[in-house]
Amino acid sequence: MTKRGIVAEDLYELKSVKNPVLSPDGSRFIFIETEIDKEKHEYNSHLFVADVEGKHVSQWTFGDVKDGSASWSPDGKSILFTSNRSGKSQLHMLNTDGGEAKQLTYCKHGARNPIWSPDGTKILFETSLSPEENVTDKEEQKEKDKLLEPMVVERVRYKSDAVGFLDDKNQHLAILTLATGEIEQLTEGDRDYTAGFWSPDGEKISLSVDLSDEPDYNLTNDVYIMSVKTKELTKLTKSNGSFGNPTWSPDGGYIALIGHEKEYEGATLSKLWLYNVQLAELTCLTAEWDVQIGDVAIGDFHSGNTNPGAIWTSDSKGFYFLMSDLGNTGVYYGSVEGEMYPALLENQHVYGLAVDPNTHKAIVGISTPTHPGDLFSVDLTNGDIKQITFVNDEFLTGIELAKAEAITFKAPDGWDIHGWIMKPFGFVEGKKYPTIIEVHGGPHAMYANTYFHEFQTLTAQGYVVVFTNPRGSHGYGQTFVDAVRGDYGGKDYIDVMTATEYAVKTFDFVDETKLGITGGSYGGFMTNWAVSHTNIFKAAVTQRSISNWLSFYGVSDIGYFFTDWEMKGDLINNTEKLWKHSPIAYVDKIETPLLILHGEKDYRCPIEQAEQLFVALKMQKKPTKFVRFPESNHELSRSGNPKLRIDRINHIKGWFVEYLG
């Protein structure tokens, strides 16, 4: 059978499977499968149920809907999930013996993140409420038509890339009693609460929230225990960092947390913490372990994965969790004494995890550069693994995906830099190929051994793709991830250029006369910086980029603190420094043909960053083009409109074809 390389439009054919949840008896699991409606250019997500042996996999929900957040009742007889089938996300329930799904909530602004009580009689969930609203207000209540009114802004944090301009609503917690349908509101006020878990006796819940006097400036997040009966709060953390994912041990003696104390601001490694409930003591279990807890792999295919936090074993002596290291994410076991052991750590991206607390058998989602992602059954005690889902096998039968070969090289100051190189489709020994350098966003993220649709479409077009983790990236320790702060365009730029030089000198198939560079967000900043400081690249594509730190400070939803954290300067006291690190300050030096891609509703790196760059280049009559994506925020490449995601990749490919051949 003759195979072909993948194209951008193949995104319509690929399915993703994620968020596995095991049944109480460990014999079955639920997962979410997402596909794209090619006619409507919309995502549909449905519930599937499979046995852990992989012999029976069946679809349980259908239609043009987005179903998610599925979980089993403690007795295994019902499945709770969220669905937008009524128009907005509400809680629904299915009987495992069959029948139609029953809608449980009719909250005015929807319901999210449902969590069963230990006895299965109540459900904790999140909803949004304005100060004058009550959790029992129904979605059917139509608001009166309102005349246009000016928006009055008094807080520095007034917009968000995720939701746009913020209104007066906050995220609150409520409890639904299944027998009566009664809903009790647990929290109120001008704060956003995130649900944790129920205590084993069902009398308390864990939650996270910032209750400081000035949350817009404090930028911390604390974990609390709340008494369900009295609403009394007990604080576990010290308002000196960012903490979340509080999970209770089965015996109620401990709560495991993930977080950090902001020692390096946003570049601080997340750690595992243990709270002793009886002693009211919080201890960091991984203080001496130089790794990032959780999955921080970056890609353009998997989106909306649930962070499982620490998953306790039934004996309350330990737990399993995800960690990121050296371009991989894996599963580790940790004990309450602080011992850590690898349970599943290979050259791959583990993006989902569910563990049977009694048998230590797990369902994991795994992706590699040549495997978009499937669910596997794993015995975490011995590593035995078996693939259960095969959602893309039939389609990929006729596709040849490029492998990613790991590379490591030395920066001029002796630091080890790690990355990968991918050969083009139809590779022929002795032939030279145009080569594209990819730079990830963040910068505190990590390229990994995972599927990347953009990379595969470029290799299919005949390009070599080089992607690395320069300093500032996660996966290589605290010193490495912190090294970029205050030095954007410094040694991080040297790392990117050293990667380019290494590829040219090491691989005879790299055509040094046809080099391109691209990246998004911080990667867009680095693309702008590179072409304003060297002419080695013959084509470049900057995506959702930063070009001017001075304006970014005031227009980005995070600019007022991110600039201070990352650039170690602000608009008021460090104007000269911000301008010095702004690529647009060197726009007169840009000779490389530059394609500028940006979302119209990107509030993280607002489109004015692209507008400034484009106009400055056009006024110099430099080769450039500006593509604006309507109704698109910073997540365009990962979870944006499917058609626009495809258009984006085709614009990237087309630009490189025009200027690199």
Q: Residue 147, class by beta-carbon neighbours within 10 Å (0-12 exposed, 13-18 middle, 19+ buried)?
A: exposed
CB 198 within 8 A of CB 173: no
- Residue 545 is among the residues annotated as catalytic for this protein: no
Helix/strand/coil for 401: coil
CB 326 within 8 A of CB 290: no
Residue 256, strand partner residues: 247, 274
Could you give the CA distance from residue 274 to residue 321 in angstroms, rounded to a whole number? 13
Tokens 């040219």 map to which residue? Answer: 504
Helix/strand/coil for 137: coil
- Residue 23 is among the residues annotated as catalytic for this protein: no
DSSP letters of 472-489? T-SSS-HHHHHTTTT-TT
Helix/strand/coil for 613: helix
DSSP letters of 426-447? T--TT--EEEEEEE-SSSS-B-
The count of other CB atoms within 10 Å of the CB of residue 230 is: 8
Could you give the CA distance from residue 322 to residue 309 in angstroms, rounded to a whole number? 8
CB 101 within 8 A of CB 82: no
CB 277 within 8 A of CB 253: yes
CB 462 within 8 A of CB 433: yes
Q: Residue 421, class by beta-carbon neighbours within 10 Å (0-12 exposed, 13-18 middle, 19+ buried)?
A: buried
CB 334 within 8 A of CB 272: yes
Catalytically annotated residue among 23, 242, 367, 521: 521
Residue 291, CA distances (Å) to 128, 287, 295, 322, 346 in order: 35, 10, 11, 11, 16
Rg of the Cα atoms in the chain: 25
Catalytically annotated residue among 349, 360, 634, 651: 634
CB 310 within 8 A of CB 258: yes
Could you give the CA distance from residue 198 to residue 213 in angstroms, rounded to a whole number? 27
Which distant-in-sequence residues (6+ apart) come within 8 Å of 12 by Cβ? 36, 38, 642, 646
What is the phi-psi region of residue 28: left when phi exceeds 0, alpha when psi lies from -120 to 50, beta otherwise? Answer: beta
Which distant-in-sequence residues (6+ apart) come within 8 Å of 373 by Cβ? 16, 17, 18, 301, 302, 351, 365, 366, 367, 451
Give buried/exposed letters for 40-66 (b at 16+ CB in 10 A, else e): eeebbbbbbbbebeeeebeebbeeebb
Q: Give the distance, in angstroms, between the CA of residue 112 and the centroid of all CA atoms in the same chain.
A: 18
CB 436 within 8 A of CB 465: yes
Tokens 């907005």 map to which residue? Answer: 88
End-to-end Cα, the chain, rounded Å: 28
The count of other CB atoms within 10 Å of the CB of residue 247 is: 19
Could you give the CA distance from residue 336 to residue 355 in angstroms, rounded to a whole number? 17
The residues carrying an active-site annotation are 521, 634
